[in-house]
Structure 1
């Protein structure tokens, strides 16, 4: 008789513990953040350590440029591509700080945005070309590179 009591108690304990034990792995899996749509980009710790992997950015953020803007291979004006981004609506992937730049019309910024132009992938444009960019501030809504 004592054996049946122990068996009933063990069965009752298992009946209560089993659903919780089976649900724990699912709960742990759902606690992880959802996968990102974009490839991970290296952290930006200074003007010289951003490494852009061509084609590594896939999410496009659309902004308008108020003027034609030269494109550059790096976040400074020392490496022009020889191509321009015409005024109008374009997509940009991300932004990062770099060398200060002036557009010649009194707008200044240290922020550079990554895009593609008509001939080159993954090139930088000074944020001074964007219609809504504020001097010396990052572009609102555009993620960092």
Structure 2
């Protein structure tokens, strides 16, 4: 095999192995990929599962002025991280400034939902166990 053929074969093997390596259990145990602000970028790709007690509108940012046309239906969902933003009411007396990042049920990716929709949410407090964005 020529040198070019060997390189192509090696690249093809790596392209096939990479998705498997990323999906393998324990892949998250690799060294953190730090950004300049000290956050672990890879941690934002880990999914944390929580249950929402109601349907919730999704937003492009943690600000109620930027609503999507999407929704997150009540049930068990994954979330990536949380951050503070504008205050949001759940419509039944619950109020919080915490927002969680997820993909909604109507096709929008990387959108925010008010933490008031989560069953484990406490007013004005971050969601326990969910990293900061």
> Is TM > 0.5 for Structure 1 vs Structure 2?
yes
**How many residues matched?**
102
Q: What corresponds to 1:126 in structure 2?
A: 114
Counterpart for residue 135 of structure 1: 123
Structure-2 separation of matches of 1:42 and 1:128: 28
1:22 corresponding residue in structure 2:
none
Say if 2:45 is the partner of 1:58: yes
Pairing partner for 2:54 from 59, 67, 90 = 67
Structure 2: distance between partners of 1:72 and 1:39: 27
After TM superposition, the score normalised by the length of structure 2 is 0.69
Q: Does structure 1 residue 76 correspond to structure 2 residue 76?
A: no
User: 1:114: how far off?
Assistant: 0.2
The whole-number CA distance in structure 2 between the counterparts of 1:105 and 1:111 is 17
Cα distance change, pair 100–39 in 1 and its aligned pair in 2 (3 A): same
Partner Cα distance (2:117, 2:47) in 1: 17
Matched residues in 2 for 1:41 and 1:115: separation? 24
- Look at both structures and tell me which one has the larger radius of gyration over its CA atoms: 1
Q: Deviations over 1:13-48 (max 9, x none)?
A: xxxxxxxxxxxxxxxxxxxxx612x7759579xxxx
Q: Deviations over 1:71-111 (max 9, x none)?
A: 00010111111111000000000000000000110000000
Query: Which residue number corresponds to residue 91 of structure 2?
Result: 104
Unmatched 5+ residue regions in structure 2?
1-29
- Structure 1-normalised TM-score? 0.64
Change (3 A) 1:143 1:105: same
1:117 Cα offset (Å): 1.0
- 1:116 aligned residue: 103
Residues 39 and 57, structure 1, Cα contact 8 Å, conserved in 2: no
Unmatched 5+ stretches in structure 1: 1-33, 45-52
